[in-house]
Structure 1
Amino acid sequence: MGRRTDLSSLLATGPDTPAATAPGPRRRPDTKPLTVPVSDLAENPDNPRHELRDLDGLAETVRERGVLQALGVVPAAVFLAAHPHHREAVGAAPYVVLHGHRRLAAARMAGLDEVPVLVRDDASRSDEDALIENVQRDDLTELEQAQAIQGLITAYGYSQRQVAARIGKTQGFVSQRLSLMKLREDIQEALADGRVSVEDARRIARLPREDQALPGHHGALPAPSVPAARGERRGGRDYGVIKIDSRGTPEDVVEALRRHLAPAALDRVVELLGRA
């Protein structure tokens, strides 16, 4: 019998959730372990994660067990040598966090005074490393992934094919995410706070910016691809149906739910599955 997979745990799992089968992190040759005061850490202003979600549960785990995975940091002087325009944002903190912003926020919520870190000695490519690693994180929203991918293209002049190779994704993955960058800023905000689903946002993004509008406002979404008879029964839209292949893996189900549901609705699904 194959190993049983819990769908709710797949939906809720993020990079800070311990996994019994996950291999331990490999230390880079240019890092060294250290424990530093939380007050000595400044957040990377270029961090693509704009919203730190579900911190209460992680903070409780951190309160009981401490920070289990060290944060990746770089000395502030090294970081500012590569990014002098961030001097004001970094302030007087001796270190800048490159990876682990959610763990840092949870440690602060839990009242920890110190956290483990791995100090890097080179910040010359730290921004690219941070963007690549964040694009690969499953707990980022599609909009946050899109913004990180756009950052790679803007900063390094990569093509979509080059970005796909750098982050280990398909060119279709990159193209899908980048389509969200065609949205007007107010619609991007609606997507970020859960008022618009990813599926609706992708349809809106097909329209010229001057014709884009939130669902329910003036203007219309491009018609979804559904059979005519079913479309007529639903008034031309079929947003209430999520197609899931019964032969798919739990990971396929998770991807389908993330693609169709707004973040608030997805959080509710996780909560209900956790009670099952």
Structure 2
Amino acid sequence: MPTATADPKRRALGKGLESLLPSRPAVVPHIAATAVEPNGKPLEIPLDEIERNPFQTRTRFDDSKLAELAASIAATGVVQPILVRPISNPTGQPHYQLIAGERRWLASRRVGKSTIPAIVRQVSDEQTLEITIVENLQRADLNPMEQARAYQRLSQQFQLTQEQMATRTGKERASVANFLRLLRLPESVQLKVESGDLSFGHARALLGLDTAEAMASAAQKVVALSLSVRQTETYVQGLINPEVKSKKEEKNKQEMDPNVREAADLLRRTLGLKVQIEDKKGKGRVIIEYSGLEDFDAILTALGGDAGK
């Protein structure tokens, strides 16, 4: 009877966390007697006996999504156990530290749960840090800067290459490299990426500029004008190659219908702002650039709006 061979694709699934969990207990400091289920079955552990993970790389939790999770837990309970490790406690009572599952832990506390299903593993500080980082990177809701800093910690604290990080997290090596490049952005721009004012695509485009000052200045304009990623790429290319941009603008100006050009000049004189009209056979759009609230108020006033509202 032929022996069954494991499907290599199935072996690869979820290898990130499993590859980090030891098959036998790690060497850890002496801890007071704690219930550790040897077969990996979850235990119901009091929430008050669990403390937050000091190695957590996630800095932001979406409150609306946390509220949705809390409502789900209130209705059906915690479907997937959290992962914890036992830690020493001066009182001698069982005490645990989160490794993975902080959102489930927070949501359970929010709805007043007294216990939560948890799998207990004996792991070292180093293993806890690595598991936490990999678990976060395998999720889809980390913002780009959180991902970049997580990869940086894996590189610095575990001396992992980009190829090794890609293997551990199931990502492409090029993706790892692109996230690490975000750390070249000045802090002011990183904050805009972290808050969601700029996307990963915007950030990649800004990295084409040579200096931190140029990146910061361009980022301010991108946010102020709500430029798309494609528009940001065009804008950055114009900053890198101003001669090409000037020639293109001159060509567009020469090809522009005289009546459209006159209308654009009139708007520029009236508003005192840069105005561009893109016209194709009577259809197009008017682009007005402003650099502050005063300019924006002037636009509203010129259009008949009440800027004081």
Q: Provide the TM-score with structure 2 as the length reference.
A: 0.55
Where 1:116 maps in the other structure, the secondary structure is strand
Match of 2:154, SS state, is helix
Residue of structure 2 equivalent to 1:142: 144
Q: Tell me whether 1:107 sits opposite 2:108 in the alignment.
A: yes
Alpha-carbon distance, 1:209 to partner:
2.1
What is the identity, as a one-letter code, of the residue corresponding to 1:212?
M
CA distance in 2, matches of 1:122, 1:194: 35
Inter-partner Cα distance in structure 2 for 1:100 and 1:113: 16
2: CA distance between counterparts of 1:175 and 1:222? 21
Structure 2 CA distance for aligned equivalents of residues 148 and 130 of structure 1: 9
Counterpart position of 1:46: 55
Contact 1:39 1:93 survives alignment (8 Å): no
Partner of 1:161: 163
Q: Distance in 2 between matches of 1:192 and 1:93?
A: 37
Residue 186 of structure 1: how far off its partner (Å): 2.1
Alignment of 1:1-276 (within 5 A): 32=37, 33-53=42-62, 54-77=65-88, 94-123=95-124, 124-207=126-209, 208-213=211-216, 214-216=219-221, 222-223=236-237
Distance in 1 of aligned mates of 2:196 and 2:168 = 29
Instruction: Give, in angstroms, the shift of residue 29 of structure 1.
Output: 5.1
Q: Which amino acid aligns with 2:131?
A: D
Secondary structure of 2:88's partner? helix
- Provide the secondary structure at the position in 2 that maps to 1:169: coil
Shift of 1:52: 1.4
In the superposition, relative to structure 1, how do residues 29 and 64 fare at CA in structure 2: closer, same or farther (>3 Å)?
farther
Q: What root-mean-square deviation, in Å, do the aligned CA atoms of Structure 1 and Structure 2 show?
A: 3.4
1:215, distance to aligned residue in structure 2 (A): 2.8
Gaps of 5+ in 1: 1-21, 79-91, 236-276
Which structure has more RCO (C-alpha within 8 Å, separation ≥ 6)? 1
Distance 2:161 2:188 in 1: 27
Aligned positions, number: 195
Query: Conserved in 1, the CA contact under 8 Å of 2:22 and 2:123?
Result: no
| Bigger Rg, structure 1 or 2 | 2
The alignment-based identity, stated in percent, is 29
2:237 aligned partner, one-letter code: A
Confirm or deny: 8 A CA contact 2:86 2:96 kept in the other structure. Answer: yes
Residue 28 of structure 1: how far off its partner (Å): 7.5
Does the aligned pair in 2 maintain the 1:183–1:209 contact within 8 Å?
yes
Unaligned stretches of 5+ in structure 2?
A: 1-12, 25-35, 224-231, 239-244, 257-274, 277-309
Which AA in structure 1 matches 2:59?
Answer: H
Following superposition, the deviation at residue 98 of structure 1 comes to: 0.6
For 2:158, give the aligned amino acid.
Y
Task: Report the Cα distance in structure 2 between the residues aligned to 1:182 and 1:168, rounded to whole angstroms.
Answer: 24
SS in 2 for 1:125: helix
